Amino acid sequence: MSLLNILKRIEPDKKKSPFLHTLYDGFFTFAYAPDTVTKDGVHIRDGMDLKRLMVHVVIAMQLCYLFGTYNIGHQHFVAAGQYLGFLEGFHLKLAHGLIMLLPAFVVAHVVGLGIEFYYAAKKGHAIEEGFLVSGALIPLIMPPDLPIWILAISIAFAVIIGKEAFGGTGMNIWNIALLSRVFIFFAYPLTISGDQCWISGFDKIAGGVTANYGWWHTGFFNTLFDWMGLDGFNKATTIVDGFSGATPLALAYEGGWEKVTGVFSESQLLWGMVPGSIGETNKVFIVFGALFLIITKVASWRIMAGMVVGLIGTTLMLNAIGSTPFMQVTWYQHMLMGSFLFAMAFMATDPVTAASTEKGKWIYGILIGAIGLIIRVMNPAYPEGWMLAILLMNTFAPTIDYFILESNIKKRLNRV
């Protein structure tokens, strides 16, 4: 008997068990494309439904997940002055990264999907697919040392207030993943700013502080590594004296590009071997993901190109002013630092919250690039601006589309 027949036989009754049917429908439509299509010959009939469209975005992020997991462990051991070569202590770095990332990934999906399942059952409709992308994005834009309970609260806020309150997937005004992050930024700022949160596995960043390894480190993985004859986690591991944990952006704000390159090489910045949000450091893998989304026509290249234009134009203007070292940083150097490329590829291109007209996408992208850079360079409290810029432009995206459409209507009426 085929899996399809088995799934159809165990389908719960929608009226008697609405919640169980909602869970069943979510799994069934994820595994199989619907077999119903439009009958009218003038319509395009395609097996690419919304779930499969969303899966393309998740696939595009997988390289960021792989590298981000490993970089969590790498930055941990750099702080301890151990295994300084990127591939040294590979098994330890990967194990530590998994210990830090997997709980965040699981909590993000349990909380977010749990809320969506509840609302879907209450409304009596199928599970909405929007959180497939949001659930994958949220762990990548968070610091590796973020407390799990804060992450859960932020996701609940973003899904309930940011999406379900507006009617669910496709009705939300703001990007759900960024709304989760901005909630943490304003409600728990110390957990997402400064140098402390970007290095995991220590109670605080200071010389001599001992690593806070738990059972997964010294119990599960050490037992496994002992059996394999590999080095294990040492409870006596401490942070080396003089280590600050400063991110490239923090260094750039203090002393410009010269101070950044005094700590990190351009190669490290390009390949992401620096402290930062989990998925935002490796620029090469982000570009691969962006190209994948462009080739599959899942994301708009106009928005991405508009952000680059806005970044370059605003950078040249600030370079001409040049009153601070940070203002003298070039547009290429800005791309190597922080989350510009990640925001460009995965955040600004959200089709629900972005502008939808062709001209509107250019305007939307250019304004994000310009406003984000101004916030990054001019705001001493937060040397990064893409989160706030995207959320601001999410708010004005319908207005941009409105004026573009009104302009097109007037042009056509004049021609008539």
- Judge whether 113 lies within some domain: yes
Q: Is residue 336 part of a domain?
A: yes
> 219 and 172: one domain?
yes
Q: Identify whether residues 231 and 90 lie together within a single domain.
A: yes
pTM across the whole model: 0.88
Same domain, 236 and 338: no
- Domain presence at residue 287: yes
Angle at 262 between CA 256 and CA 267, to 5 degrees: 100
Residue numbers of the domain that contains 322: 264-416
| 223 and 289 together in one domain | no
Q: Is 43 domain-assigned?
A: no
**Residue where a domain stops, chosen among 215, 245, 275:** 245
Pair 307, 357 in one domain:
yes
Instruction: Tell me, yes or no, whether 159 and 93 share the same domain.
Output: yes
Single residue among 212, 245, 278 that ends a domain in this structure: 245
231 shares its domain with 277: no
CB 158 within 8 A of CB 179: yes
Q: Provide the residue-wise pLDDT of the chain in tens; the chain has 416 residues.
A: 466 566 566 666 656 566 555 555 655 555 555 555 555 544 444 444 556 677 888 899 999 999 999 999 999 999 999 999 999 999 999 999 999 999 999 999 999 988 888 887 777 766 666 678 888 999 999 999 999 999 999 999 999 999 888 887 778 899 999 999 999 999 998 888 877 789 999 998 898 999 999 999 999 999 999 999 999 999 999 999 989 888 999 899 889 999 999 999 999 999 999 999 999 999 999 999 999 999 999 999 999 999 999 999 999 999 999 889 999 999 999 999 999 999 999 999 998 899 999 999 999 999 999 999 999 998 867 768 899 999 999 999 999 999 999 998 998 888 87
Instruction: Say if residue 97 is in the same domain as residue 130.
Output: yes
Distance separating alpha carbons of residues 108 and 156, to the nearest angstrom: 9
Strand partners, 210: 238
Spatial separation of the C-alpha atoms in residues 250 and 132, rounded to whole Å = 32
CB atoms within 10 A of CB 375: 18
Q: Are 62 and 197 contained in the same domain? A: yes
* Residues 320-343 as b or e (16 or more Cβ within 10 Å = b): eeeeebbbbbebebbbbbbbbbbb
Radius of gyration of the chain (CA): 23
The domain total for the chain is: 2
CA 414 to chain CA centroid, Å, is 45
- Residue 27: inside a domain, yes or no? yes
Residue 118 lies in a domain: yes
Q: Are residues 207 and 274 in the same domain?
A: no
